[in-house]
Structure 1
Amino acid sequence: MTGSTGWLLLLLAIVLELTGTIMMRMSDGFSRLLPSVLMFVCYGASFTMLNYAVRYMPISIAYAIWSGVGITLISIAGYYLFGERLRTASICWMVLIIVGIIGLKWSDVQ
């Protein structure tokens, strides 16, 4: 397996986590069966892919990227898909999350 395998698995874990969180919103408090089931499937698959990704990279890096990118993407998805507010302050904090992730990754390389 190549070094990019971990990154591909991590990307898949992030996409599945994002999809699971969107399904959570669409499940309407577990009142809609299909989104509820898909939420659990996506979250389970996301954790599985994250578990495989940490075979190829430090867990601190993988988890920081998975959670930070997930937070940022679901905030953006909430704005576009569900009409949720995205305040300027929220955008600033998300930028800080991304900068922190980049810094964590950069410090791992050094």
Structure 2
Amino acid sequence: MKEYVILAVAIISEVFASSMLKVSNGFKRLFPSIGVVMGYGAAFYLLSLSLKAIPLGTAYAIWSGVGTALTALVGVIFYKESIDLKKCLGLVLIICGVVVLKLSSSH
């Protein structure tokens, strides 16, 4: 279970880094740019730690799927990006896929 907590922190770090990309203005703003580098560094380091106990395919699918869904939500909530039925359906399908992968790896 500890490895999934590490993976969750890796996901949050990746979402943070992706969010900072938006405000870094092409790496022209110092502090958001530092946030990008630190966030991605932490994300990949923590992902590598989680791989000690979680199969690569499962961990990466969860990391990228949940990260994509959360990043899309951050875009909607913080950057006022539009959301419609198709985007909602896509996010639901990503989450369903992650759940199925998790269930298939816990046998």
Taking structure 1 as the reference length, the TM-score comes to 0.92
The question of 1:21 aligning with 2:6 is answered no
Residues in 1 aligned to 2:62 and 2:21: alpha-carbon distance in whole angstroms = 21
What is the aligned length? Answer: 107
1:23-63 CA distance string (max 9 Å, x none): 11110111111101110111011000000001011111111
Among 50, 57, 77, which residue is 1:60 paired with?
Answer: 57
Alignment of 1:66-85 (within 5 A): 66-85=63-82
Structure 2: which amino acid aligns with 1:81?
A: F
Partner residue of 2:44? 47
Runs of 4+ aligned structure 1 residues displaced above 4 Å come to none
Among 95, 98, 101, which residue is 1:101 paired with?
Answer: 98
Identity %: 36
Structure 1: which amino acid aligns with 2:80?
A: G
Residues in 2 aligned to 1:105 and 1:11: alpha-carbon distance in whole angstroms = 13
Contact 1:5–1:56, Cα closer than 8 Å, also in 2: no
Question: What RMSD in Å do the two structures reach over aligned CA positions?
Answer: 1.0
Q: CA deviation at 1:109?
A: 2.5
Taking structure 2 as the reference length, the TM-score comes to 0.95
Structure 2: which amino acid aligns with 1:31?
A: K
Gaps of 5+ in 1: none
Contact 1:75–1:86, Cα closer than 8 Å, also in 2: no
